[in-house]
Structures are given as C-alpha cells and as structure tokens.
Chains A and B, each alone.
Chain A
C-alpha cells in the first residue's frame, strides 16, 4: 500500500467492528471506542486504549563494510497518538543503529500501528530489490501481508529502492501476546528472516493484567505494571539475539548475541522467546519455573519450533545460565547469564 493509499481499506477487507460504513474523517481509534460501546461487548473489562502508533522503520545492511551479509531493521520514528489526538514521541527509546533483533514494537490491545518501511540496501543488487514486514498474530488486511505477488496473487508488498511501503497492523481483541515480525520478500519469496530481518511485537492486554503469573506458582495473573524489564530473546540456529526493554522508561537496548541479561534482585521480569531458523531449540533456564501455556505444568525447559513464541514471567531471585541444550547448539555455546544483583 503506497503512501497515498494510507488509511484506506478495501471494501470487505476488514471486519465490521473496525469498518465505518461510510468514508469518514473520524479517527479510527474513536470508531473503535464507539463501536465497542455500541456493540456492548460486556466481556471487556476496560475501554480499549485505541492509540495509533505512527512508525517509520528502515531495513538496512549491518556493517556493509564488514561483509557480514547480515541485515536489520532500525526505528526512525515512533509516535503514539491517543484518542484525544495527543502525541507522545517514543523515537528516543530506540537504538540509533539497526539492531538484531529489530526494534520491539509494544502496543496495547485496541491499538493500531501504521508503519512506513524504507529500503536502504544496495539498489543495484537484484536480490535486495524487495524488503518487507510480515507480522504474526495481529490483524491486517491483504494490503499488509508483507508478501510478494507471487505468494498473495495481489501485489508486491515491499519497500523498494524507490518506494517505501505502508503497513497497518491492528492489535484487535484476541491478539494479546508476543508475535514475530520479519521480512518475507528479500532474496526470494521466503525473505531474509534468517539474515537478521526480524523483531518482536508485544501486544499487551488492555486490562493491564498479564497473561502469565510470576514463576508459575498459580498465584493469579500478574500486573503488567509490576514487570520491570522485558527481555526479547530470539533463538536462531547458532545464537540467541537479545533485546531489553526497561519498562520504567521504555528504553530499548540491543543486547547482541548470546547476551547476559541483567535484572535487579527480586524484580519481576518477562522473557519473550521466539525461535527462528531451521533448528528446534531446547531452551532451559535452570532454577526457575513457569507455566507451560495452556497447561498447568510448571516447567524449566521448553522445546519450540521456528516462529513459535514462548513467554513467561519470573521473579529474579538468583543468577542462572540460560541455554539451548540441542546437540549442536550446546557445542556452539548458545547460552548466556541471567545476572541478578
């Protein structure tokens, strides 16, 4: 969807809840609230926030002179517009360089993200002609799948050397959770997700009640507000890639490969695992336990497959090593420390 098409939806491409019957200049967020009230969704415990995230991101090569063959996303601008039209600029929370994983985009159930992606690769390399954002979990219509026409039979949904591309993600009710976003179009119709073009989207519940309890004790849902730090840990075929988000100030810090995670003693932290590649990581964090989602089992280890997510909250009570115990991963030293002090 090119810039001029921004905010326009194809007829029938979105469910009625989000779809004004007639073109309107009202902000979508207002419609959300109105629709929610009109439809009397009594199940909702709080009014949806309905913020709009206006985001500009760049996809570029990591250290082009280093010949690493790695690529990454960089946040250029992130502004949040609330339902009253007030704008908060979060751009300063992000790294000024492209990072692996890419910027973590944090939304709340009910929010909408409008993301413009820009292409900063070698314009002469035909394999790098396209780059995109394909997101998991949340709602988007066929303009924002982030795939090539070869896949979607509609159009190339890519940023190219000459045109940026706009994506629209809707963190509708039922999309709470942690989701991957990644490229789907560079090099081939499968994209270069395994070359560094990936990041995480966290959709927090509008209720402020976390999906997890702390340590899997069955103590009931924890409050989002009690989580001091979020750690996004992508598990690639040969390394963990970390990103820390300090919830006190929203500042994100890229931690690099097989990072150490620093947490304050007795603080509550949340770990967001996403696997990516061809291997099946066997994640372990000995001396901590949490609940395996959907079950009542308390676990300290979990095998996940590529692009599965696994999210848990723990109280940082002691230092420990996290690792991937799969045969080659262990030999390659895929591990790091959770340092608690």
Chain B
C-alpha cells in the first residue's frame, strides 16, 4: 500500500498532473464524484461492523452492497482521481471514527454515539487501503477502499508457463477481500457484476479452474504473513510490467499496525483443481486456527465453485437464533476478572453474573482477540467434553480440541465447537484467565455440560457432576466475577452469585446454583481481620495486582505494609507509566531500589524504596513474571514468562544485558515463571510452565545444568514456582495443574520425591480426609530451612516439613491464594506472608510459634486488610477493587540466606543474631 511520502506541495502537483492527464487523454473518463453514507452498528455477538446505507456516483456505477452491517465493512471501489465524500453515522454506544491512512484528508474526531461525521478522501494513488476505527478496529470496524487505475488496469498475474500477464478489472472473474485480524481471516467476495457478499470468518473461497481472481489481503493490528498453497504471484513492490522471476512470491508480510497486499492469480494454473489452504504462516497463528480453504474446481465439473461463508457475528448464538453458523467473541483483556470478556458480556452478565461465559449451539464458533492487552498469551483448553477430543472423533474435532499453541503470542484464535458440553479456555502464561463456552444442543431442557470432561492435566472422562468438575466451575465463577470476591471490609457475609439455570449433567438435569450452594456453602461469614500480636521487622511490599486507580487504565498497585505496627504505609500505582498488573517484586542489595515486574506488559519498573517514586521503566521482554537478584553480585534476573529465557540486568545498570535461554536452540520455549536463585548465586532455577520441567542453569555461563520433568509424566503439570533450601541442597517446585510439589536435588536436579497435594481428596465425591493443596503456586522455604509454606489457589496454605518432605499442616486461605514469602519476626523466627487474588487481605502465618522445630503448631497468627484508608500515602486515587489481587510480595529486610548477610547495617539492625545467620 502507499505511504504518504509526498509533502503538501507534491500533493498539489499530483492533483494538477492528474487533472492534466485526464484532460489530455480522452480515453480516460472524467473523475467521478462519490457520495457514500455508512453507519457503524453493533452486531448480535457484541462486535461492531460498518453498514453501507447509500452510495451514489456521478458515473452511475456503484456496487451491489450487502444490506446488513458486515465484517469486513463494505468494500468501496473508486477510481484514481475520483472525489469521494463519506458520511459516517454512529449507531453504536461507543465513539467511532473512520480513518484510512493515505486517503483521509486531515484528522476528523470520532463520532459520538448517535452523531454523524463527514470525511473526504484523497484518491491520487491507486491501491487498496484499509479503513478502520482507530480504537475498536480489532472488534470489526474495518474495511477496504480500492482505488483502481482509471483505465481499469489491475495487478498482473503469473501464468503456469511463467508468463506475467497484464489484467484489466473487466477480466476478473471475482475478487476477495481478506482481512487478517488477531488470528482470524475476515472475508468478502465481489463477483463480476459488483455484488458484494460477506464471507465472514475463515471462509472457503471458491473459484473455477483458470478463473482470474484478485485478492485484497489487508490487516489491522498484529502482524502476519499471508500464504496460499500451490499459487504464486507478483511482489507488489515490483512494477508488474518489468517484474521478473525475482519478484514472484507465495508469502507476504503484513506489517503492524495496518497493511495491504493486492495480487491477481489464475486459479489452479500449473497445479490443477484442488482444495488449497490459505493461512497465516506464523506458527502460533496457524495453531490458533488462522486458516481457510481455496477451493478450485475443474472447469468441466459442473460445480460453479461457489464460496462458503464462515461463522458470523450475526449467526446462531444464544439469544440470536439463525440458520447460519454463529460466532461469539472473547476480548482478551488485562482487566481483572474479565480476562476473557465476551464482546456482549455486559448484556449477558445480569443472567450469568460473569462476562466470561458464552453459550452457542453446536456448529457455531468461538473467537478470541487480544485487543485489550499489552501482554502475550496462549488460548488453551483447560477442559472440554471428552468426546470432542477423542482421537477418532468423526468430524475431526480432535484436530482442534484441545486447543493450544506452542508458544505465547499476540493475536487471537478461532475454533468451531460441535460437541455439546462445557469448554473452558485459559492462558498458559496467566493460568487464572478463564473463558467458558457451553455448547448447548437445542433439544435438551437445561444447558448441556455434557456427561464427562477431559482436563488438560490428563484426567479423562471426569463426570460433570463430580466434585472436581463443580469445584472448577465454582472457581470459574469466583475468579471471573469481581462481585464474587471476598471483601474483608464488608459488613455482610461473603455471597457468591451463580447463574440460576438448569444444567444437563451425567446425573440428568440439575440446577447449577443449587448444586454449587449445596456443595460449597453460601453467605459465609468471614473472620475479622486482626493483626498478629508480635510485630514483624521492616516492611512487606505486596502486589495488589487488581486494585484500580483513577489515573490509569491498567490495574494494579503496590501496597507497602509497615510490620512494626501492622499499618499500611503507602500505595504505589505509578499512573505516569500506567503500571500494568504488577506481579512480583524484589529489592536490590542495599534496599534502595525495588524491582517490579509488569506481568501483562513488557516492562520492569525501578522504584525508589524510600519515596515510592518511579526511577525508571525499562523494556525487558514479553510478559515478565518474577524477579530475583543474584546474592553474590546483586545482578538482577527477570523471568520472561511469555518467552524463552531469563534476562540479566547487571547490578547498578538499567539495561538488559542478555537473555539466558531456558532451553536449547530450536526447542519449545520453556516460558519460565517463578524462579529462584541458589544462596551463593551460582545457579538459577526456573519452573518451566510450557515444557513441564524445572531447569537448573549456571548463572555465570548461562549453561543448562539440568532440566527435570515434574508431574510424574502427567501431561501439562504446569510447574509454576520454585523454593529452595537455604543451603541450596533441595529445590521445591510446585505443579499448579498436577496439584503436587516436586522435590529435586539442588545441585543436579535429580527428582527426590513428588508430594501429592490431593492425596486426601476424592475428586468424585469431594471427600477431604486430610490436608490438601489444590492448584499450588508459591512455595518458599523458610530462611532457617525448616518449613515450606505453599499457597494453593484452591484456598489452602500447606506447610511441609523439610526434614521429611511431608505435609504437616493445612491452613485455610482465601480464594485465589497465590503468593507467599518470609520475613523476620521481631525477636526471632519468621512470618510467612500469604496473599490471595480474590480477597483483599494478607494472611500472616507463623510456622513454628514456639520455635521448637516441631511444625505441628504452625498457624495463622493474624491478617491485615489491604484496603488503604484516607491517611495512607498514595500517588493516585483508588477507584475500585480496593486491596484485591494479592500476588507477589517481598519482605524488607530480605532475610533469605545469601541475601541477609549482605544487608546494610541499617536494615540488619532489627534482626537477631540467628536471623542474620540463618543456617549456622
């Protein structure tokens, strides 16, 4: 596509030149004047589309447009030099604009709901241009404008004998407009007579052998490469009149933030009829469903070679009956709770109480688009109806279910669902992002949950009425609904809203709300928040990752707790950098600088410990999760959770030096999450969520020492966090989806033991006969090496005795229990501080209150509200979700062995001798 390389003077010159040319060459028609009226409309699934109301042209020729709003929007055909006036009517409830870079004159502000705006186009340069709304383009507000040569000359094609042949538009049998957006193609067909037909998502494009077909491939948002099997065409950078073999391509890069690529092919030339796939050639986009078929039928077959439209936002979905296959859309978002937010979530949530649940009939599709996030993600099946994933599924559903991608990426996804039942999707990198789809057969009374489900962790044929199935459903409803989170400042008991609907299970029709309330209680009275009797030493910095403030669009604050009097000292939101989902934090050696990761972003933030003010915000890579210093050098290590390594920032510098790869070249990315470092700084240990192993790496050379599979061979155990003995002799790796704790030799990674955290849990009946830890996350070892404290997101704190590597205690935690770390207790001993995502308090655990080495008296000794009163220092106004989202945290002084010895005297002054020398 063209870029505006001309200055204003050149533009004037061009216009003059074109006018002269028009005058001189009588064969060229006079420039036509087009008056076009379009509307922006919301579609039944919550997406938006442009609709053509009226198009008049002074030359009398206008296409036959669809009557409805479509994605892509109507394709506007004009000729070079035409005068084009466009009026946009905004019939949606959001602001909508019309921008066609390279064509639109000047900047026109978007139209408010109900308003209209006018635009004029500058059509000096031929080409196909995307038009779009700047803000909501990824939700469907895009289309193409084709500025054709006044004589009708279009792109030449390469014939089967290699001849490059000129084409006039009148010779074209059909044209396709194909937008690449997220991980989905959105298509339209323009027939020879100018009739435009919407083909929606990933259509089958039809043609007869030797048809001349022009493709207008466009993109908005993420970059792609377009590939069509068995066909080749001319690089648009080349002049078709002088193009040589060098200019013949079959793949083309579509650049961010928008691009256009136009070519003509002769269908099947040199290769014959067939079903030829077109697809994006990015591996992650291929894996997320970004493909379709180009059907070329033989000329004598009698088959007219018609195209077949794909799933549509106006097709059959819950509350929108239709004979056409429908499409529901989840917006992937950084917004707490609605990480998978249905595009019509606001309309559904009065009934479903969540914006992350959709209902479709069999044969319709679910579509994902990462339009509201700065991070990278995967779209991964967490559970699905057993039948859909069976290897011999006759419809081939097992080719797409379970849905997954090898590596995290920017884009989206699309998948057709045919088997009735419950499908839950998650992100492997952020495994509490949930979106659920019920595929409901119209013939049943209740919503179809199906008979059995399979889980990504390898559990097969789990009855939908089982405790594990309903427990996961409950987790889904708590996690995805902000109103279902535990509020320790509320006067009323904790109430969880569930949809009051009948569901079909293996036990027949049940009421979902009744089952969940009967099994897990309702209106539970929360215990009062009371501070521990004995003060701690220093501060705790807590990532209240969901707390929202008025000065920024992204969530998350840091809550600083003064443990000497158990009061909140500060809230840090950093509105100047729109701090996004702060996840984990660590101090430098002298505790002057705090290092903060932004987990749904690409940044690491340096903060002044004393003032809470921003020092620097630096790019480190996609989706940085955890940060730890090397105790010997004070170099910084940051796990790049969305990629394949740990980046190193040398002490005292603010730039990434290099990335230590967590796997060999060419291997599947490990996507390390919550790493740890040995007390001597010689080894970095990462839990590799994507490759199901814990890796030991030489911190000096970056070499892989060992990679040990966790989870006893089960698929997808999801090792997520590492703890380490103070003498570095043993490693503890928690396996989120395997509900286990792997114990590894700290030097060579040999697997010593796998502690089953759900041994005492019956997944069918729900009977719990002893301590359990469901969905374990952080797993630090106490600085004195006595105990592992494990935060399990199912709402438990598990204490493990490191002498026996067995569970000694289970304590009640809050929903989404997540972070744990140790700090010093005044007068000796340690507190474990434990955070929860879906509550607004911090829990304080004393693993050995009487310091006798016997951990059986481990207990919760208090809790602190994370909600800041008016007197607490803040850099922004708390606007909602006060105190929620507790995840990473760190205590100052940093009392872990290796680090504690390097404290300044000021920070060490509050510690006892044994706290200063924890393993002596």
A303 nearest CB neighbor, chain B only: B253
Q: Which residue of B lies closest to A256 (CB)?
A: B665
CB of B303, distance to nearest CB on chain A (Å):
13
With A145-B276, A306-B281, A331-B647 known as contacts, the answer to whether A293 contacts B247 (CB < 8 A) is yes
The reply to whether the CB of A321 lies closer than 8 angstroms to some CB of chain B is no
Give the total of A residues in contact with B, Cβ under 8 Å: 74
Residues of B within 8 A of A102 (CB): none
Majority SS of interface residues in chain B?
A: loop
| B708 CB to nearest A CB, Å | 11
Check A13 against B272 for contact (C-beta < 8 Å): yes
Is B621 on the interface with A (CB-CB < 8 A)?
yes
Contact A195 B281 (CB under 8 A): no
**What is the minimal beta-carbon distance from B16 to any residue of chain A, in angstroms?**
26
In the complex, B837 has a CB within 8 A of chain A: no
A265 within 8 A of B: no
Task: Give Cα distance in the complex from A13 to B403, angstroms.
Answer: 35
Residue count of chain B within 8 Å CB distance of chain A: 77
Separation of A151 and B400 alpha carbons in the complex (Å): 12
Q: Which residue of A lies closest to B301 (CB)?
A: A12
Contact flags (1/0) for A145-180 with B, using CB distance below 8 Å? 101101111100000000000000010111111010
B334 to chain A, nearest CB (A): 20
CA distance in complex: A140, B231 (Å): 10
CA of A139 to CA of B298, assembled, Å = 17
Complex Cα spacing A17 to B159, Å: 11
Query: Do residues A332 and B160 form an inter-chain contact, with CB atoms below 8 A?
Result: no
Given A172-B162, A278-B407, A295-B237 in contact, is the A327-B619 Cβ separation under 8 Å? yes
- CB-CB < 8 A to B17: which residues of A? none
Q: Do the beta carbons of B667 and A331 come within 8 Å of each other?
A: no
> Beyond A211-B245, A238-B666, A294-B243, is A145–B230 a contact (Cβ under 8 Å)?
yes
Query: Does B114 have its Cβ within 8 Å of any Cβ on chain A?
Result: no
Q: Does A3 contact B (CB under 8 A)?
A: no
A172/B270 in contact, CB under 8 A = yes
Q: Chain B residues near A295: list those with CB within 8 A.
A: 237-238
B60-68, B285-293, B806-814 - interface stretch: B285-293
Q: In this assembly, does A88 line the interface, its C-beta being within 8 Å of a C-beta of chain B? A: no
For residue A50, CB closer than 8 A to chain B, the reply is no
Residue contact A175 to B232, C-beta cutoff 8 Å: yes
| Most interface-central of B163, B243, B275, B640 (chain A CB within 10 A) | B275
Q: A interface, by DSSP: helix, strand, loop or mixed?
A: loop
1/0 contact string of B634-647 vs chain A (CB within 8 Å): 00000010011101
Q: Give the distance in Å from the alpha carbon of A148 to the alpha carbon of B229 in the complex.
A: 13
Q: Which residues does chain A contribute within 8 Å of B619, judged by CB atoms?
A: 327
Known: A174-B161, A190-B287. A140 touches B271 (CB 8 A): yes
- Asked whether, in the complex, the Cβ of A177 is within 8 Å of the Cβ of B274, the reply is no
Whether A152 contacts B274 by the Cβ 8 Å rule is yes
CB distance from A151 to the nearest CB of B (A): 5
The reply to whether B160 and A293 form a contact with Cβ atoms under 8 Å apart is no
Complex CA gap A196/B668 in Å reads 11
Interface 1/0s, chain A 186-224, versus B by CB < 8 A? 001110011110000000010000011000000000000
Q: Is the CB of B163 within 8 A of A43?
A: yes
Closest chain A residue to B691, Cβ basis: A69
Nearest-neighbour CB distance to chain A for B125, whole angstroms, equals 16
B251 contact from A145, A212, A237, A305, Cβ within 8 A:
A305
Are A328 and B621 touching (Cβ within 8 A)? yes
Binds A, one of B219-227, B350-358, B717-725: B219-227
- Taking beta carbons and an 8 Å cutoff, which residues of B are in contact with A? 158-164, 209, 223-225, 227, 229-230, 232, 235-239, 243-254, 269-277, 281-287, 291, 293, 298-300, 391, 396, 399, 406-407, 409, 619, 621-622, 640, 643-645, 647, 656, 658-659, 661, 664-669
Extra contacts besides A190-B283, A257-B666 (11): CB < 8 Å? A70-B664, A151-B293, A152-B276, A172-B162, A175-B232, A237-B669, A238-B669, A241-B666, A304-B253, A309-B249, A332-B645
